[in-house]
Structure 1
Amino acid sequence: MKTAIKLVLIYFVMQILAALLVMPFTMLYSYAVNGTIDDTSTAALAPSMLLGFVGMGAYLWRKGYLKGDKRIWSPVSVAYLGWSAVIGLATIFLIDFVMSKLSFLPDWMGATFDVLQSGWLGIICISVLGPVLEEMLFRGAITKVLLQKYSPVKAIILSALIFGIFHINPAQVVGAVLSGVLFAWLYYKTGSLVPGILIHILNNSLSVFLSLHYPDVEYTSDLLGEPTYWICLAVAVALLAVSYKVMNAYRSPDSNTLKV
């Protein structure tokens, strides 16, 4: 558990250091182009995030979390990735339903995400690079460490809770915990980061797409309307049950994974 907390703290330190390194260059660029440094913090957001990702990824690699295990970057199989997409979409839809019932939770990061989504680098950071780095950190390092110390169920739950708290933003914490359970379970079953990365990118990309193209829509129910939404919700529940049953039967040839 100490290692998990340490890794999260290192991630935040990396982001702070990255911001400090990027800020002077952003100030110079902003002044040269606009003749002012008023928007420096906004302009520095995406580059500093990118640099923080690179720094954290390099740290995880250097410390051996991301190497020495041939399974970690394995796609498992085409069929498994297909089922991963199915269970991912079903989970995304169901989490959206849960979050629609928790709409009272404040969104502390709304303005930050709007800034990031205003440029291509920020969109890439949210949609692709963030998911990859978070899977490397939370599954490739933290979940791996927890599985070595605790039972699979306890390790998965702890990993999901840490993942949720990591997001800090109340409007994201619950959804992150729920998706964290799926991501940690996928890593436990396969030893691979690829299925989780696929779903994570899918989730974040859909979020960015909807935010940019339907800025006034808060939840899927607002977009689909009744009765379409309730039909889709029932389908999502069925798909989740079927895909879980199929995927839970998977047993990695190189591990001692059990059905959970």
Structure 2
Amino acid sequence: MKINFKAKADTGRYGKSKVSLSAKRGTKKTPLYILLLFIAVQLSPVLFITPTMEYFMGQGMTRAEAKLSTSGWLIAASMGIGFIAAIILILRDKRFFDIWKGKKAGPFAAVGWGLLGFLLLLVGQSLAAMIEIAIGIEPGSENTMGLVRIAEAVPLTILAVVLFGPVLEELVFRRVVFGSLNQTTNFWIATLISALVFGLVHMEFTHLLLYFTTGLILAFLYQRTKRIITPIIAHILLNGYVMLIQLNMEKIQNFLKQMENLQ
């Protein structure tokens, strides 16, 4: 009986060790998979530009119309697939977000900080824009205006910009880049590097300060609550707000003119 009991105990101990090592390997690999997935989402549409353009032009669209439609559908498709794939990867690795010491913020606090974070982003971007104007950089983002024109042609793009994009970017820049660096360096180094990378990836170097400021605030929100949902909420609200304003800019301008005439 003693021999059998010991053998069973040893088997259980070894089994537990294997599960633990497997979980650790999964946790280490998942950030890499998320990063590679994000790169694939950014680059894969290039492979389908020509056939998609030809299809839309074959439907009677002009080259300019086909270009907008192609961009819209490829952005929506690649980000949608990337979003689903990222969720699957995360669900398979239950320890993916276990990178913090100390207690995480409660659900209500996490959401509350997400809402507050949206306001912080508006203030931070306004200050960054003022600095840019002061040093001679013209306001307005070509990247944002391009997405607005695409969204007008393919409304499904709005879902990609407002939901899929923010979730993927927060998983990459806050959890993978910032989270990984924060474990090996410190908060300030991790924040500065992740915010800089976040700005550079958007490929709009004249407005690097604007994106850098956004990255700083989002990293702070993640550190503050230790929950990725917080910067995701703030990021979604920011993108949604920008798209709402830009898509209705003409109506807003007409309304302001009417108010001026009334005065």
Q: TM-score, normalised by structure 2?
A: 0.66
Counting only pairs closer than 5 Å after superposition, residues 130-209 of structure 1 correspond to structure 2 as: 130-209=165-244
* Match 2:146 to one of 100, 112, 117: 112
* Match 1:129 to one of 164, 169, 185: 164
Secondary structure at 1:39's aligned position in 2? helix
Q: Which residue of 1 aligns with 2:72?
A: 46
Q: Given the superposition, is the C-alpha separation of residues 189 and 213 from structure 1 closer, same or farther in structure 2, using an over 3 Å criterion?
A: same
- Partners in 2 of 1:150 and 1:93 — Cα distance? 28
For 1:40, the aligned partner's letter is: A
For 1:105, the aligned partner's letter is: I
Q: Does residue 1:85 correspond to 2:119, yes or no?
A: no
Between 125-134 and 192-201, the greater mean CA deviation after superposition? 125-134
- Partners in 2 of 1:141 and 1:65 — Cα distance? 16
Could you say which structure has the higher helix fraction? 2
- Partners in 1 of 2:224 and 2:91 — Cα distance? 18
For 1:44, the aligned partner's letter is: T
Gaps of 5+ in 1: 219-260
Counting only pairs closer than 5 Å after superposition, residues 21-40 of structure 1 correspond to structure 2 as: 21=48, 23-32=50-59, 34=60, 39-40=65-66
Q: Which residue of 2 aligns with 1:102?
A: 132
- Partners in 1 of 2:240 and 2:33 — Cα distance? 29
Indicate conservation of the 8 Å contact 1:156/1:181, yes or no. Answer: yes
- Partners in 2 of 1:193 and 1:98 — Cα distance? 24
Indicate conservation of the 8 Å contact 1:11/1:52, yes or no. Answer: no
- Partners in 1 of 2:36 and 2:137 — Cα distance? 25
Q: Which residue of 2 aligns with 1:17?
A: 44
Gaps of 5+ in 2: 1-30, 99-103, 254-263
- Partners in 2 of 1:101 and 1:37 — Cα distance? 39
Indicate conservation of the 8 Å contact 2:191/2:219, yes or no. Answer: yes
Q: Given the superposition, is the C-alpha separation of residues 14 and 212 from structure 1 closer, same or farther in structure 2, using an over 3 Å criterion?
A: closer
Indicate conservation of the 8 Å contact 1:84/1:199, yes or no. Answer: yes
Q: TM-score, normalised by structure 1?
A: 0.67
| CA deviation after TM superposition for structure 1 residue 65, in Å | 9.8
Indicate conservation of the 8 Å contact 2:124/2:214, yes or no. Answer: no
> Which one has a bigger Cα radius of gyration?
2
- After superposition, the CA RMSD in angstroms is 3.6
Q: What is the percentage of aligned positions where both structures have the same residue?
A: 18
- Partners in 1 of 2:144 and 2:220 — Cα distance? 29
Counting only pairs closer than 5 Å after superposition, residues 225-244 of structure 1 correspond to structure 2 as: none
Count of paired positions: 214
